């Protein structure tokens, strides 16, 4: 649905004013702010029409208008632009993220913190899915007389460790046998296929050696599972409680949802590849019916991977959020990509 130029200009002015002030916008305020060359009565007629068409609502008869989710949608799709960040902004982001560019997890944790700090909203960042990654190598480190650590290095750069325990006394020689035998079986195998049946088949191959292996095989399975699973970094959850638009019950619902990593990961998983904005009821989760989620996926070697997102009120600065997310996304993708390239 396209709007006439003047209607669009009025809608735009209302949305921008409301995003800035949070106050319902009246016809008089509007002409003084938007520089329209018509009278307030004309604006009122237009506003009445926009209200009929579902772009605006009045909290009550004698209040100004407030944009609906539909208005934000129209504004974002047809009016708003999100210009790339300035050079200095990008440089700031790069240097901030470069601080702890050790592992994908630490990069993403840093990204979540940075995004939250820059937008003053809650932010989340999910690790790349490891579903089509493979085992690059498995190593072992002795940690005690009966305990050792399995280190699963995945081809996507994720490294997961898991401790295990043996009934017998562990020696460097035993770990070397494990290393040789298990890398023969596991190297190059897709993480997603390392499950209980796979482990059992593998154990069978080792003959009597497998009697020594239940602990280590379980550890490998669990580390592989952890390497495959998406984990979600986050930052700034409490910032949501400082946003005047968000009332207590809404904040509580959103925070409860965000703290449930399982549901959150599932939602992030279903977000589209491109930068996208989900406004209010457009969100798949009922808890977010009064919030907006702006998200984008970072790409590693031009393959869409994990999600970066901010969660905030409907009345947020979408343009700024998108610009920041896209800038951070670019750097995150590059940093993780580098990490993976080097490790291969």
Partner DNA sequence: TTTTAGCACTCTCACTGTTAGAGTGCTAAC
Partner DNA sequence: GTTAGCACTCTAACAGTGAGAGTGCTAAAA
Q: List interacting residues with DNA (CB under 7 A).
A: 24, 26-29, 37-42, 44-45, 47-48, 51, 58-65
HSE-up of residue 86 (Cα within 13 Å, Cβ side) = 3
What does 343 bind: a second copy, DNA, none (CB cut-off 5 to 8 Å by kind)?
a second copy
- We find the least distance from the C-beta atom of residue 341 to DNA, in angstroms, to be 58
- We find the least distance from the C-beta atom of residue 142 to a second copy, in angstroms, to be 7
Tokens of 130: 């490891």
Decide if 25 contacts 17 (C-beta within 8 A).
Answer: yes
Among 63, 241, 273, 281, interactor with a second copy by CB under 8 A: 241
Decide if 116 contacts 123 (C-beta within 8 A).
Answer: yes
Neighbours of 289 (CB within 10 A): 15
* Only segment of 49-57, 68-76, 83-91, 236-244 that touches a second copy (CB under 8 A): 236-244
Q: What is the DSSP letter of 2?
A: -
Spatial distance between the Cα atoms of 298 and 296, rounded to a whole number of angstroms: 7
Residues 151-190 that bind a second copy (CB under 8 A): 151, 153, 159, 161-163, 165
Spatial distance between the Cα atoms of 335 and 220, rounded to a whole number of angstroms: 27
- We find the least distance from the C-beta atom of residue 87 to a second copy, in angstroms, to be 27
Binding of a second copy by 255 (CB under 8 A): yes
Could you identify the residue written with the tokens 């493979």? Answer: 134
Tokens of 76: 């974002």
Q: What is the DSSP letter of 215?
A: H
- We find the least distance from the C-beta atom of residue 66 to DNA, in angstroms, to be 10
- We find the least distance from the C-beta atom of residue 25 to DNA, in angstroms, to be 7
* Only segment of 63-71, 136-144, 272-280, 292-300 that touches a second copy (CB under 8 A): 136-144
What does 142 bind: a second copy, DNA, none (CB cut-off 5 to 8 Å by kind)?
a second copy
Decide if 122 contacts 240 (C-beta within 8 A).
Answer: yes
Decide if 288 contacts 278 (C-beta within 8 A).
Answer: yes
* Interaction site with a second copy (CB under 8 A): 102-103, 137, 139, 141-147, 149, 151, 153, 159, 161-163, 165, 237-238, 241-242, 248, 251-252, 255-256, 259, 342-344
């Amino acid at each position: 649905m396209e709007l006439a130029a003047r209607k669009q200009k009025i809608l735009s002015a209302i949305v921008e004013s409301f995003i800035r002030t949070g106050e319902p916008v009246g016809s008089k305020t509007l002409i003084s702010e938007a520089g329209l060359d018509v009278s307030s009565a004309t604006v009122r007629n237009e506003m009445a029409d926009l209200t009929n068409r579902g772009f605006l609502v009045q909290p009550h008869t004698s209040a100004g208008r407030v944009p609906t989710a539909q208005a934000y949608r129209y504004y974002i799709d047809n009016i708003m632009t999100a210009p790339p960040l300035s050079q200095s902004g990008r440089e700031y982001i790069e240097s901030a993220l470069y601080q702890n560019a050790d592992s994908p997890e630490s990069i993403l944790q840093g990204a979540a913190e940075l995004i939250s700090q820059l937008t003053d909203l809650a932010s989340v960042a999910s690790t790349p899915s490891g579903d089509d990654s493979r085992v690059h190598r498995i190593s072992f480190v002795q940690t005690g007389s009966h305990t050792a650590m399995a280190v699963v290095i995945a081809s996507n750069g994720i490294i997961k460790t898991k401790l295990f325990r043996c009934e017998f006394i562990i020696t460097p020689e035993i770990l070397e046998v494990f290393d040789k035998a298990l890398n023969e079986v596991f190297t190059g195998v897709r993480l997603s296929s390392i499950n209980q049946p796979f482990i059992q088949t593998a154990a069978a191959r080792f003959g009597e050696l497998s009697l020594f292996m239940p602990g280590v095989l379980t550890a490998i399975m669990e580390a592989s599972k952890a390497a495959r699973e998406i984990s979600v970094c986050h930052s700034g959850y409490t910032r949501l409680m400082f946003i005047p638009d968000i009332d207590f019950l809404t904040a509580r619902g959103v925070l409860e949802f965000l703290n449930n990593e399982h549901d959150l990961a599932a939602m992030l998983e279903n977000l589209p590849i491109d930068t996208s904005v989900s406004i209010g009821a457009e969100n798949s989760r009922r808890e977010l019916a009064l919030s907006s989620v702006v998200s984008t996926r970072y790409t590693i070697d031009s393959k869409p991977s994990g999600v970066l997102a901010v969660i905030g009120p409907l009345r947020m600065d979408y343009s700024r959020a998108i610009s920041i997310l896209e800038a951070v996304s670019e750097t995150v993708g590059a940093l993780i990509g580098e990490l993976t390239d080097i490790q291969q």
